[in-house]
Structure formats: structure tokens, C-alpha cells
Structure 1
Amino acid sequence: MPKLGMTPIRRQELIEATIETIAELGYQKTTLTHISKRAGLSSGIISHYFGSKQELIEASVRYLIGELKRDLLKSLGEREVSAEERLMLIVEANFSSTQIASANTKNWLTFWSQSMHDPMLKRLQRVNSKRLANNLLFSFKELLPIEQAKKAALTTAAMIDGFWLRFALSHELSMNHQQAIGFCKGYIKQIIESQEVHEIL
């Protein structure tokens, strides 16, 4: 029987081992044996805490999604921020050191690819995409008419995903994550400034 309080620790160790193993070997080649060996635990422990490889993979995706949320909440802190500042922080959170870490980018790419074939991963991918769009819309609604806000939120979300993907797939490109952040922030500023000019006129 596991010691009291060890369950969260063991689960986290297995999730981290899964992320590291998938980053090294790829989704198809990753086995429970590989994961348990990296974690320094027996294969039976995985069944005890997660039931199957699939459940462990899903838990790993939820962990990465949670990391993205934690990055944003950490940047927001408890201070009051304007709608425009909040939009900029959302962009930064999606390109934080956590999100562009090599192992994490490889896992995100893997999960996105697998979501086309796995219903649960597809659901998680949709939840994550919807959360980004809704977070952006919440702030844009304070700055723009509702229809423009919806369009701006969807466009910004697409830019974030697109630039992140471009950065993740090729480090040979001249673009780096700071440039990607700059492009996304530039679009947001342009939309806001256009609305301000329209209101003045």
C-alpha cells in the first residue's frame, strides 16, 4: 500500500516521465516499460495510478493544459490589469519558457497530431482551443463591439497557434518566440488603435 500522501507525488512523477519519454522516443514507440523505467518505478504502478497507457497520456495532456493556465494566472497575479494588458499577458503565457521547452513542444505537437484519431485527445484539444478563444474574447469585448471582438479573438487565437507551431517545427527559421510575441501583440494593438480612431471620427 502506498504511503499516505504519495499518490500525488507518484502520479506527477509518472506524468513527467511520460512527457520526457514521448519527447525522446515519440508517441508510437513509447511503452509503459519505458515510462516506468524513466520514473524509476515498476510498470504495475502505472496500472495502479492510471489504469492504462491511454489514461496516463490523457493525464499528461491535462497537465500541459494546466501548465498553460498556471502560466497565465502567474503573470496576472492579484493586480488589476486593463483589458489590453490582459491580452498581452495571454500572448506571453502561450510563449512562456514552460510552453516552448523542448519536451513540452514535442508533446504538444504529438498530442495535436494524435487528436485527429483519438476522441478523448480531440476533446481536450477542443477544450484548450476554446479556452484560449474565450480568454481573448473576454478582454476584446471590453474594447470592441461584440462582432469585432469575436473576429479579433478568433484571429488572435489563430495567430498564436500558427506562430507557436511555426516556431516549434523549425528552429532554423529566423523567427524566434520573441518575434512571434511581437507579431501577435502588434495585431492586437492595431485592432485596438483602429477602433479608437473610429470612435474619434
Structure 2
Amino acid sequence: MSRKTFRRVGDAERRADLIEAMLDCIAEGGMQHATVREVAERAGVSGGLIRHYFETKEQLLHAAYQRTMAVMLDIGAAAEETGEGSPRYRLRDFVVACLTPPMIDARRLSLWAAFVAMARIDPAMGAIHRENYLAYRALIERLLAGACSAEGRQETPDRLARLAIEINAVLDGLWLEGSLAADLFEHDELLKAGLHAVEAITGLRLEEE
């Protein structure tokens, strides 16, 4: 583990540095490695400075989990935000983003697994999980609504929600396997499986002609 040299930065940047130090500690050694002492050493600061920004270790953990989920949401949302191509291809771009690097990543999986194990026993962690899960599902629903509308299909909110749940579950499973054991799959095998599955769920053509 490398120790950063202390540097004077603004409050927002210092908070971000501490969150990244916490994430590094968890990724390298699990939750048992993520002590205030280890985080301080990683960030090149004192434990007292950490408490200036986060009153408790739990607050820092919550911020680190929120950061992890926000980054994953941002990766998926890029397909919607670019606004390029047809609505159907924006949905395709979303699937691609979910099943390729930087989303497919062993470190990202390690962090997610460490945090999600706490979601059932820590109410704040559970709230972060629910908030981001619903945001991810809402993103899928918007992409679906646009793609279906462009094909002349007007789906009800209830059906869009059900389709989004199914798509999210399929992509989550493929993401987990791809991040955990990428060597088990041929080039683009996971992506092709994801596109095929979303096509089967939605009836929309996603794979390139």
C-alpha cells in the first residue's frame, strides 16, 4: 500500500481523496482492512483530519458506497446523455456500457460485494442501495420508453417497470460473472448474450445488422 504525500487542497477535494482512500483499502483487503488508521495512511493524513470531514467511520463508508454506486450509474447513463443515434441504439449503447470495461471490472465487483453485504444490516447502506437501484431502473425505463415509442409501441408504465426489472436482473448477472471470471468467456460473448437477452425480453432489435 502506497502512502500519499500530504497536500493542501479544498474541502471537496479532500473529502473525495478520503473516499478514494477508503475504496482502495476495501478493494485491496476487504472491510476488515478499511480502518481509519489504514485510510489515513493511504491518504497521507492524520486520523484527526479524517474526523474533521467524517464524524464516524460509518459516515465515510456510506459516502464511499454512494460514490461507488454513483460512478456505476454514470457509466450506464452515458448512453442516454450523449443523445447520439436512434432511441433503439441508445438502449443498445446502454447494454454495451453495462457489459464492457470500465463497468466490467474485478475491482468494481469487489467494492460492490463488500458494500452490498452490509445493506441488510445497516439501514443507511440499505437506503443507498434502494435509491441507486431505483435510479438505475428508472434509467432503463426511460431508454425503453424511447426505443418502444420510436418503433410505434406505446407501453404502459407498469409494463415498462416490469421489463426494466427483467433487464436489470439479466445485466446484473452477466456483469457479475464477467467481472468475477472474465477468462471463462470468449471475446464479446457476454455482450452478445446480453444483447440477445434484452432483445428477447423487449422484442426490440439491438444487435447490429
TM-score surpassing 0.5? yes
Gap runs ≥5 in structure 2: 1-6
Give the structure-2-normalised TM-score: 0.79
Q: Distance in 1 between matches of 2:68 and 2:164?
A: 22
Q: Cα deviation per residue 1:35-69 (whole Å; 9 max; x = unaligned)?
A: 11011111111100111111111111111122123
Q: Which has the higher contact order (CA 8 A, sep 6+)?
A: 2
Separation (CA, whole Å) in 2 of partners of 1:116 and 1:168: 23
Task: Work out whether residues 18 and 35 of structure 1, in 8 Å CA contact, stay in contact via their aligned partners in 2.
Answer: yes
Q: After TM superposition, give the deviation of residue 176 of structure 1 in Å.
A: 6.5
Whether the 8 Å CA contact 2:25–2:33 is kept in 1: the answer is no
- Counterpart code for 1:35: V
TM-score by length of structure 1 reads 0.82
Instruction: Indicate how the Cα distance of structure 1 residues 40 and 170 shifts in structure 2: closer, same or farther if over 3 A, else same.
Output: same
1:1-201 to 2 correspondence within 5 Å?
A: 6-142=10-146, 143=148, 144=153, 145-146=155-156, 147-171=158-182, 174-175=184-185, 178-193=188-203
CA distance in 2 between counterparts of 1:177 and 1:45 reads 46
Q: Secondary structure at the match of 1:28?
A: helix
CA contact (8 A) 1:68 1:93 kept: no
Number of equivalent positions: 192
Closer, same or farther in 2 for the Cα pair 1:168/1:52, shift >3 Å? same
Structure 1 Cα separation of the partners of residues 41 and 83 of structure 2:
43
One-letter amino acid of the structure 1 residue matched with residue 167 of structure 2:
T
What RMSD in Å do the two structures reach over aligned CA positions? 2.6
* Range with bigger deviation, 186-195 or 28-37: 186-195
2:79–2:91 Cα contact (<8 Å) kept = no
Q: 1:176 to 1:66 in 2, by over 3 A?
A: farther
What percentage of aligned pairs have identical amino acids? 24
Change over 3 Å in CA distance of 1:160–1:194 after alignment to 2: closer
